Amino acid sequence: LTTLFFLILTVSKPVASQNCGCASGLCCSSAGYCGTTDAYCGEGCKEGPCKNSGPGDPTVSLEETVTPEFFNSILSQATESDCKGRGFYTHETFMAAANAYPSFGATISKREIAAFFAHVAQETGFMCHIEEVDGPAKAARGDYCDTTKTEFPCVPGKGYYGRGAIQLSWNYNYGPCGRDLNEGDLLATPEKVAQDQVLAFKASFWYWTTNVRSSFKSGFGATIRAVNSMECTGGGVPSETAANRIRYFQDYCTKLGVQPGENLSC
């Protein structure tokens, strides 16, 4: 009987209890275990292919949720007369990028969609800016080149300032992004992100799934730190730009019919 009891415990034991760092394809449950059933991927799931990003926020179809009307409502918020992003950032190219990078939309919720577009709105001025304002000048003085990242060396004459829907920056992001998307050596050709309409979104999806998505389980505020930690000030008081992101997030949550949840600020 003792042996049988031990075997039952062994068989029924969760895959891992490590808070979490699960293998690819496994969800991290609210208790910190790895697995694939609803007990792991359902409510409270922390990371991995979760079915819910939070209470009342189930996984949805990206195509059915990000309608042309929703997408264009963000574009219409732009006030700049010289809005270069009009005609570059389109609903058609957004969906083309999503189809080419399916992991972005495969397990997404309304709340996460609102979060993504809140950052896009702030980063690009409601999809007006294809490149970072004053980016070339910043690159000329050596910004965005981290020479300690020897795996992704900066190419002389190239600038790694912000480009795309969520402005991809730094050599250590351009390098792995190009590799993972099979887009060639973006260290040698970073300008491609500002020239290819689909790549401008794909690079942003890559950054989101690689650097931001896991933070979203802790609330929108955590995604601000993941996108631009410099906007987060002491005492939980957001900077002006962080406050913009929060306001856009709340607005887009309202448009999509979902509550924004807790922990909105840094």
Give the C-alpha separation, 27 to 66, whole Å.
Answer: 25
Give the C-alpha separation, 237 to 243, whole Å.
Answer: 9
Residues of the chain with CATH 1.10.530.10: 53-127+198-256
Q: What stretches of the chain show up as alpha helix (H) in DSSP? A: 2-12, 38-41, 62-65, 68-75, 91-100, 110-124, 135-140, 171-180, 197-207, 213-216, 220-228, 240-256
Q: Mention every residue, 6+ apart, whose C-beta is less than 8 A from residue 99.
A: none
Residues of the chain with CATH 3.30.20.10: 135-194
| Distance linking the first and last C-alpha atoms of the chain | 53
Choosing among 3.30.20.10, 3.40.50.620, 3.40.50.300, 3.40.50.1820, the CATH entry for 135-194 is 3.30.20.10
Partners of 232 in the β-ladder: 238
Copy the structure tokens of residue 82: 């010289």
The one catalytic residue in 112, 123, 132, 183 is: 123
Q: How many CB atoms lie within 10 A of CB 204?
A: 28
Question: Which DSSP state fits 168?
Answer: B
- Residue 106 confidence (pLDDT): 93
Tell me if residue 63 is catalytic.
no
Give the C-alpha separation, 83 to 128, whole Å.
Answer: 5
Give the C-alpha separation, 202 to 159, whole Å.
Answer: 19
Q: Residues of the chain whose pLDDT is less than 70?
A: 1-20, 24-25, 30, 38, 41-56, 233-238
Give the C-alpha separation, 252 to 116, whole Å.
Answer: 10
Choosing among 1.20.1050.10, 1.20.120.160, 3.90.320.10, 1.10.530.10, the CATH entry for 53-127+198-256 is 1.10.530.10
What's the mean per-residue pLDDT of the chain? Answer: 86
Please count the CA atoms within 13 angstroms of the CA of 72 that sit on its side-chain side: 6
